[in-house]
Amino acid sequence: MQEKARELLVKYFGYSTFKTGQEEIIDSILNGGDTLGIMPTGGGKSICYQLPALLLSGTTLVISPLISLMKDQADALENLGVPATFINSSLTYKEVNYRLQEVSSGKFKLLYVAPERLQSEEFISMLNRVQVSLVAVDEAHCVSQWGHDFRPSYLAIASLIAGFSVRPLVAAFTATATGNIKQDIVHQLALRDPYVYVASFDRPNLHFNVLRGEDKRDFLHKYLVDNAGHSGIIYAATRKQVDNLYGFLAAKGFAAGKYHAGLSDDERIRAQEAFIHDNIKIMAATNAFGMGIDKSNVRFVIHYNMPKNMEAYYQEAGRAGRDGEEGECILLFSPQDVQIQKHLIEYTNMAQKRKEKEYRKLQSMVDYCHTTFCLRRYILSYFGEEISGNCGNCGNCREDFELEEITVNAQKILSCLWRMRENYGTSLAAAVLKGSRSKKVLQLGFDRLSTYGLLSKYSSQEIKELINILISEGYITVTNGQYPVLKLCQKAYPVLKGETRVYRKVFEERERQVDSELFDRLANLRKELAQKEELPPYMVFHDVTLREMSQRCPADERALGVISGVGEIKLQRYGQAFLTEIRRYLEEKN
């Protein structure tokens, strides 16, 4: 069986080795046991049931919560030569009946269904005609009320399984199973003495970074210019911020889309499709975007605002680099973000106890934004995993920064706040330090303060940035309420007395992966082929595969066939087109 699985991995998927955990999980299923696989996004869960589906007799029923993904997954499998289909609410009764007939005749190895289907008795009795050998439950945490994605229809899965005349094997998969969710999955799905595989949640290919006190728009502009051609998501906290961000990106000439719950279904679908099909590279979105997006070549995820907790952050950031290639996850922190999140908790309809829990989670998120230790270690430890040592590959482990001393400017700011009796917000403090002659400054007599105009050589924006750095580093705190006021913290006094110094980190430019000309040409070819077949480009080949092609320049089908991600069917379907493009490129260059 082992040998056979490996053969099929090469034949259909074009991969020569398993990813960590895949082998164990597939073994367990093929040995006839129930199985629970807990792996991070991008860990390779799909193959864990798709390969057994090919090897087991009969059909594998895949229960997946996302209707939009279902079609994509079935298409992707068809494109690999694996017979698969789906049934969901987009189909007519007649079509459903017809597909089931085809399934029972053995035409398909995998059948994807939405959990809502399981509540229809008619559908269940129709399913009895099909020989189901394996039930694979995707996003299995949806069965648990402890999680944030609870789907009541998932509760029908256990009775579905019990209803078959011969009990099929059950395999469940999820990326989120902290605390009691794991036990709950086993219990609610009535798994029988399951083999549980828990993979590390580390995503070594992701580079984490937190930037504090940065001018967000300037940063974004520069970053997007440097990363032109790469796909990325920019998450903002509110619809309004997404709209603003979208306007800013459009004004700067970037081809971007936007996505939030305030848009019509149609607008959202169009934006999502354009992103998946590589027609636009940048998506500005609220957290409503991303569930059900399998796009493997997202190269960066930028959080324009701090999200509400680490769970949300890791899930959203984790949408980068699903293909195992480098991905960058940057969080742009500003103290105002904390106010927004506190506001959201305070004004939602939650029991006090729940609110307290949310505040605690928020605090862990804020701590992440301020830790000076390894960010990866912080994340993993939050999810209950300890690593030894630092990762060497996150913003805090990087050593290519210089410390710029800002003690004198810090003293000027802190002393100015003190003289303003710690009673005003950032804008007014900046105006006083700038030496503004605005009505308000003059009315309050702040032009007579000894700190008036002390930072006049800086722009107001630069002064606000300095204030933000001091807030982020805990020298100043911002009060809650409609008119937030700046107050000095304990840490500020030794600075004023000249006892401690204040520094900011200035990073050197990170080296970026620059794609070769051949890669770009192959990516264009991929896009043309995908358009013809109405598939997202990454379903033709992943970025990793194109990159390997552009490095190794295979001259014939044999050489192309050993490249990771080139299975038999794709070789037949696309091989000649890519070989021709590579040959043409080499001829032009020589």
Contact letters (x/-) for Zn ion, 382-401, by CB under 5 A?
Answer: --------xx--x--x----
Q: Considering the rule CB under 6 A, would residue 239 count as an interface residue with ligand ADP?
A: no
What is the closest distance, in whole angstroms, from the C-beta atom of residue 393 to ligand ADP in the complex? 20
What would the two tokens of residue 294 be?
């399998």
What is the closest distance, in whole angstroms, from the C-beta atom of residue 489 to ligand ADP in the complex? 42
Q: Which helix (H) or strand (E) holds 77?
A: helix 67-80
Asked if residues 243 and 363 have their Cβ atoms less than 8 Å apart, the reply is: no
List the one residue out of 263, 312, 266, 265 whose CA is nearest residue 284.
263
Residue 500 interacting partner from ligand ADP, Zn ion, none (CB closer than 5 to 8 Å by kind)? none
Distance CA 454, CA 431 (A): 11
Q: Considering the rule CB under 6 A, would residue 72 count as an interface residue with ligand ADP?
A: no
Alpha-helical runs (H) found in 197-334: 216-226, 239-251, 265-276, 310-317
Please state the length of the chain.
590
Q: Which helix (H) or strand (E) holds 585?
A: helix 568-589
Q: Considering the rule CB under 6 A, would residue 570 count as an interface residue with ligand ADP?
A: no
Q: State which of residues 19, 71, 270, 355 lies at the interface with ligand ADP (CB under 6 A).
A: 19
Q: Considering the rule CB under 6 A, would residue 296 count as an interface residue with ligand ADP?
A: yes
Point out which span in 40-48, 88-96, 126-134, 402-410 binds ligand ADP (CB under 6 A). Answer: 40-48
Q: Considering the rule CB under 6 A, would residue 182 count as an interface residue with ligand ADP?
A: no
**Backbone torsion region of residue 499, taken as left when φ is above 0, otherwise alpha when ψ lies between -120 and 50, otherwise beta:** alpha
Three-class SS of residue 172? strand
**CB proximity list for 330: less than 8 A, separation 6 or greater:** 209, 210, 211, 223, 300, 301, 302, 303
Asked if residues 397 and 374 have their Cβ atoms less than 8 Å apart, the reply is: yes
The b-or-e profile of 469-496 (16+ CB within 10 A means b, else e) is: bbbbbebbbbeeeeebbbebeebbeebe
Q: Looking at beta carbons only, is 435 or 565 nearer to ligand ADP?
A: 565
**How many CB atoms are located within 10 Å of the residue 92 CB?**
8
Q: Looking at beta carbons only, is 170 or 301 nearer to Zn ion?
A: 301
Q: State which of residues 5, 25, 26, 47 lies at the interface with ligand ADP (CB under 6 A).
A: 47
Q: Considering the rule CB under 6 A, would residue 65 count as an interface residue with ligand ADP?
A: no
Q: Considering the rule CB under 6 A, would residue 321 count as an interface residue with ligand ADP?
A: no
Q: Considering the rule CB under 5 A, would residue 380 count as an interface residue with Zn ion?
A: no
DSSP type of residue 511: P
Q: State which of residues 44, 168, 307, 395 lies at the interface with ligand ADP (CB under 6 A).
A: 44
Q: Considering the rule CB under 6 A, would residue 155 count as an interface residue with ligand ADP?
A: no
What is the closest distance, in whole angstroms, from the C-beta atom of residue 68 to ligand ADP in the complex? 15
What is the closest distance, in whole angstroms, from the C-beta atom of residue 396 to Zn ion in the complex? 6
Return the amino acid letter for 466: L
What is the closest distance, in whole angstroms, from the C-beta atom of residue 571 to ligand ADP in the complex? 16
Residue 18 interacting partner from Zn ion, ligand ADP, none (CB closer than 5 to 8 Å by kind)? ligand ADP
Q: Looking at beta carbons only, is 131 or 205 nearer to ligand ADP?
A: 205
Asked if residues 138 and 65 have their Cβ atoms less than 8 Å apart, the reply is: yes
Contact set with Zn ion (CB under 5 A): 374, 376, 390-391, 394, 397
Return residues touching ligand ADP (CB under 6 A). Answer: 15, 18-19, 22, 39, 41-47, 296, 322-323, 542, 564
